[in-house]
Amino acid sequence: MATCLAAVLLLWLVLCLRPDDAPERPVVAAPSAEPGLEVLEERRLDDRRLELRLKSPALGAETGVRLLLPQGWPGDAARAWPQLWLLHGGLDGYTSWTAETDVAELTAGDDVIVVMPDGGRCGSYSDWRDGPAWETYHLKELLPLLERRYRASGRRAIAGYSMGGQGAMLYAAKGHFRAAASFSGALHILRPGVPQTVMLATSLACPGTDWKRIWGDPGDQRDTWAAHNPYDQADRLRGVELYVAAGEGDLVENLAREAARDFVARLRELDIPVSTHFGRGGHNHATWQAELRRARPMLLRALRQG
């Protein structure tokens, strides 16, 4: 069993690790005097890409976020744009969506701010028991900053792949997003065999990190694991427009598919509507690009309602 899990995670490491895309324009400093999350730098990479370097109290460290700006931004002082958050997976970073997919071209006319935050190589979109508080950073520091300083409105949708699919559903369950989409997401982390995979993934993504720092041992801290398990939080997604997708074609994707099917079944037990796509495709950016294209109409519709 251990050998099989190691092989799965090594395959994941090969499939998910991708090069970054380089900035195209000089750095322009934009220091912030606001309390809490501090803006250290802004980098305008081209007409749409704006990259921020931030200092986060919740993380106790510097971090980055990349924005894709709509045409006409920032516009007049009264204008605000809906937000589409895109979360990356384990081993990747906040530039992975633009480096590995056509998201910039796809959203060019969508009239939304696309928000791509760093989630850490093994951050799990969670406040760790002993370590960085990624959820607090995203929802209590970054989200208010975007709405206060970068003309983002309170209309929000979220999507993510792999580890980011888990994060998308967890953050939607907190009540911050109108719609959520998961592509190959970790949607049932307490499914038999999955906790061991999470432990090994943490060791591979963040060498030297004790996996118990995130949620503790699932045997002793099952309630903490359940609090970060989309399957166990499914009842809190009522009223959110949902899309769940997973492929079939490699060991990691097949595990994600089984977890996604469990999650969808739980939603349907609760009579919560969900759109699904279970097709071909491996655990890779080509699959996730295709799924974003499929989910995009639903995500935009939710942002434009009401």
CA distances from 3 to 10, 212, 222 (A): 11, 21, 25
Q: Is the peptide bond before 195 cis (omega within 30 degrees of 0)?
A: no
| Alpha carbon distance, N-terminus to C-terminus of the chain | 50
> Largest Cα–Cα distance in the chain?
59
pLDDT exceeds 70 at position 4? no
How high is the mean pLDDT of the chain? 89
Tokens standing for residue 235? 């009842």
- Average pLDDT, stretch 122-126? 96
Strands 49-56 and 61-68: antiparallel
pLDDT exceeds 80 at position 29? no
Percent of the chain whose predicted confidence (pLDDT) is above 70: 88
pLDDT exceeds 60 at position 27? no
Band the pLDDT of 182: cuts 50, 70, 90: very high
What pLDDT, on a 0 to 100 scale, did the predictor assign at position 148?
96
Strands 49-56 and 152-161: unpaired
CA distances from 40 to 36, 68, 87, 121, 212 (A): 12, 19, 22, 22, 32
What pLDDT, on a 0 to 100 scale, did the predictor assign at position 150?
97
Q: What is the Cα–Cα distance from 184 to 165, expressed in whole angstroms? A: 7
Chain segment 36-46, per-residue pLDDT in tens: 999 999 999 99
pTM of the model: 0.90
124 and 134 in contact (C-beta within 8 Å)? yes
What pLDDT, on a 0 to 100 scale, did the predictor assign at position 147?
97
Percent of the chain whose predicted confidence (pLDDT) is above 90: 79
Band the pLDDT of 35: cuts 50, 70, 90: low
pLDDT exceeds 90 at position 30? no
Chain segment 44-102, per-residue pLDDT in tens: 999 999 999 999 999 999 999 999 999 999 988 889 999 999 999 999 999 999 999 99
The domain spans of the chain are: 2-15+37-304
- Average pLDDT, stretch 175-200? 92
State the fold for domain 2-15+37-304: Rossmann fold (3.40.50)
Helices 194-205 & 2-16 angle (0-180, nearest 10): 50
CA distances from 143 to 17, 85, 147 (A): 27, 10, 7
15 and 284 in contact (C-beta within 8 Å)? yes
| Reduced 3-state DSSP string for the chain | CHHHHHHHHHHHHHHHCCCCCCCCCCCEECCCCCCCCEEEEEEECCCCEEEEEEEECCCCEEEEEEEECCCCCCCCCCCCEEEEEEECCCCCCCCHHHHHCCHHHHCCCCCCEEEEECCCCCCCCCECCCCCEHHHHHHHHHHHHHHHHCCEEEEEEEEEECHHHHHHHHHHHCCCCCEEEEECCCCCCCCCCHHHHHHHHHHHHCCCCCCHHHHCCCCCCHHHHHHCCCCCCHHHHCCCEEEEEECECCHHHHHHHHHHHHHHHHHHHCCCCCEEEECCECCCHHHHHHHHHHHHHHHHHHHHCC
pLDDT exceeds 80 at position 288? yes
Chain segment 102-120, per-residue pLDDT in tens: 999 999 999 999 999 999 9
273 and 210 in contact (C-beta within 8 Å)? no
What pLDDT, on a 0 to 100 scale, did the predictor assign at position 92?
96
Band the pLDDT of 195: cuts 50, 70, 90: confident
Q: How far is CA 231 from the centre of its chain?
A: 17
Burial class (CB in 10 A: 0-12, 13-18, 19+), 106: middle
